[in-house]
Amino acid sequence: MSNLKEILENKKICKSVWFMRQAGRYLPEFRKIRSKNQNFINLCLDSELSSEITLQPIKRYNLDSAIIFSDILMVPYGLNQGVEFIKDRGPVLEEFNLRKFLNNDKISFTQKLNPVYRAIQKTREKLDKKKSLIGFIGAPWTLLIYMLGAKESKQDINYEKIKANESEVNIILDKLHEYLCSHIENQVSAGADVIQIFDSWAGLIPQNDLPNYCYIPNLKIVNFCKGKKIPVICFPKGINKNFKEFNNVVNPDGINLDYDVDPNWAKQNLSNVVLQGGLDPKILLSNSQDFLSAAKKYLDIFKGLPYIFNLGHGLLPGTDPDKVKELVKFYREF
């Protein structure tokens, strides 16, 4: 069995492989398109090109699942907050305005993101029916950090800014939940059959606030997905041994491990869930012996468990596509 949807629903031992950020920056065929399309948001809104990019790694590696080429920050964009991707700096969002944010409605939100849904529809039409098509969202907390401009570095946020405006933050999180559920439903209606929730900055939440800002917001979205019978994978990056409590509270169908989680610890502590990923993407920048040995470690540890082969974060821009091919071949033959 390799269909991701069936694996997540039935929690069966299987063979399945896909990679986070498999469609994009490390592939020469993507870079060719990107060189002609400098505005990243506009590229995500080009349904034809977005679909083509989504299918590039499927054509190259015959992976078991495609993940739509888009971005978690398409949601703030759909909510009329300016988003710009600046080279060597990353995303920059215009100053948050609560009144403007609350003045949105789901009809205009859907219309603004309709090109994303058309891209999913076009991809589903071209994709082998046996392969899953993954849609995704950013978790409320992670989007909040970007929207409020609270991120100061890869390791730090202005947490005082969050706590000083706690009542406003709670309003934003509740409203974000509504739009994220709409975005999920629209993606599934267009042809996605699995959703992954990226909580990229969960690891920046102090221990005492994990329930309010990580567990509960993810739980509400997972419960929404379960109510709609949509298989869902959570990725609360950076929370280390709190993965156990997250899994117990949120109870997703699948949970993606980051590369800081000891796979032996995960095997012993994370139950009744399909495990995914864990392999450090930086290992693919090393020699074949090193990255194949690292991959074997994960496959040996999770042998006999429902496990989807993936990474502990997205493929890095400097990754050699031939090494990805070698890794996929190794996995298929394991």
For the chain, the farthest-separated pair of C-alpha atoms sits apart, in whole angstroms, at 56
Determine the Cα–Cα distance for residues 68 and 116; give it in Å rounded to an integer.
9
Taking alpha carbons only, the member of 265, 264, 266, 241 closest to residue 254 is: 266
Q: Are residues 307 and 6 in contact, defined by beta-carbon separation less than 8 angstroms?
A: no
Q: Are residues 231 and 194 in contact, defined by beta-carbon separation less than 8 angstroms?
A: yes
290 is catalytic: no
Angle formed by the axes of helices 140-147 and 216-227, nearest 10°: 120
Say which residues have a Cβ less than 8 Å from residue 162's Cβ, sequence separation at least 6. 144, 148, 150, 169
Among residues 46, 64, 71, 193, the one annotated as catalytic is 71
Count the neighbouring beta carbons within 10 Å of the beta carbon of residue 300: 10
21 is catalytic: yes
Among residues 26, 77, 117, 146, the one annotated as catalytic is 146
Angle formed by the axes of helices 47-61 and 114-126, nearest 10°: 40
215 is catalytic: no
Among residues 21, 61, 179, 253, the one annotated as catalytic is 21
Among residues 25, 209, 259, 331, the one annotated as catalytic is 25
25 is catalytic: yes
Active site residues: 21, 25, 34, 71, 146
